[in-house]
Structure 1
């Protein structure tokens, strides 16, 4: 079992820095007009996609993990919200060029190799479209040993500081881009997700329990340097 599958079976809908409260705050700041065509890349269990749809946005959501897709479909059905949900990878988005007004993603690009996902975000955006990417960031450059620990457990491909994210964006085809200041991970408030479905059988499996404990140890170990930035990029 890999880390994304563990999250899926736990029904975790907001594992990114800041949790769902940070997601809602960012969406409030953006203030998408009703009818905005949004692609959420890496939708997980569909919590954010459904929230955007509830605000009147036209939402398409993708995720490469089949367990996440199953739970996202279930959430949209129960919520009676018109979200199009497709199993697909952010590095190979199965939609034509210039399809969406905005791409919204959180802690997904960090799990993709190179700049392939960023190129795909640019490709599927309409002219003057905008990318909003809350991304995992670090307060300082990590050592190779530290990077290997995080890569081997989480599958992270990018362990970048804010300036390093901006350097990556400078090689993209986006017309203009910016990144917010580094923000440390805050202790999340009690988050009540009434539609969360947890596979309780996991708690009887030693390997799954060991993964959960290792996650806690790594989060504690890197808590002083791990956080996030919000990258905003505009297509000409």
Structure 2
């Protein structure tokens, strides 16, 4: 029997806007990028297509959505058809993006890079960006360096190899060749959990599949336990970086 993963859980339950801040945060950070109908945008790791559909509908941009998980692609495709938006939908791996160099004005990534070989993925984002193009990458960030035991505990659920601090993320982006690197939004996991004091933070959306493997509920439970346990040791940041001209 195949071992199930955290991404199987996200795909089966069709969780859109699972990243901290949800679509409300996405809307806020993207609004500052002045997208137009001629902007070429890549949503790398698009999931159920919530963000890609929003970008196409709101800005009329030329949006390409890419994901590796077949079920995510199915649900994204249904969304684009249902909402009547034109988005190019592709299956692909961020370690080997199936696009020529200098293809996009904006690469948007939401809670994806942390699950990858980080430097390889960042290098691919840089490769497919046009000179002067922008990377917006929302990623899990350690509020302080984590111990080997803490990393092992997180890896048991998320299969993450490492969780960089803000300084380490910035250093990796600089090492890849990005410039004008800044953090446009961020906070701890605790600060991103919706409550009465933060009504602007939207709850994730769900589109659950009919057949749910019971093992996925164990992954959900483990995820919730880690979210609570690491709520102040883990955070998120939206990193904005520009590809050198």
**TM-score bin (small chain):** over 0.9
**Greater relative contact order structure (CA < 8 Å, 6+ sep):** 2
Give the unaligned 5+ runs of structure 1.
none
| Alignment match, 2:154 | 150
Is 1:68–2:72 an aligned residue pair? yes
For 1:211 and 1:200, locate their aligned partners in 2 and report how far apart those are by CA, in whole Å: 18
Query: Structure 1 residues 95 and 192, CA, compared in 2 at 3 Å: closer, same or farther?
Result: closer
Is 1:104–2:108 an aligned residue pair? yes
For 1:95 and 1:104, locate their aligned partners in 2 and report how far apart those are by CA, in whole Å: 15
| Alignment match, 2:215 | 207
Give the unaligned 5+ runs of structure 2.
195-200
Equivalence map 1:1-236=2 (5 Å)? 1-55=4-58, 56-180=60-184, 182-185=186-189, 186-188=192-194, 189=201, 191=203, 193=205, 196-202=206-212, 205-235=213-243, 236=245
For 1:215 and 1:35, locate their aligned partners in 2 and report how far apart those are by CA, in whole Å: 39
With the length of structure 2 as denominator, give the TM-score of the two structures: 0.89
Contact 2:24 2:202 survives alignment (8 Å): no
Tell me the number of residue pairs that the alignment of Structure 1 and Structure 2 aligns.
232
Query: Structure 1 residues 119 and 156, CA, compared in 2 at 3 Å: closer, same or farther?
Result: same
For 1:66 and 1:183, locate their aligned partners in 2 and report how far apart those are by CA, in whole Å: 32
Report the secondary structure of 1:127's partner residue.
strand
For 1:58 and 1:23, locate their aligned partners in 2 and report how far apart those are by CA, in whole Å: 17
With the length of structure 1 as denominator, give the TM-score of the two structures: 0.92
After the TM superposition, which of the residue ranges 27-36 and 184-193 deviates more from structure 2? 184-193
Q: Report the CA distance between 1:171 and its aligned residue.
A: 1.1
Q: Report the CA distance between 1:181 and its aligned residue.
A: 6.4
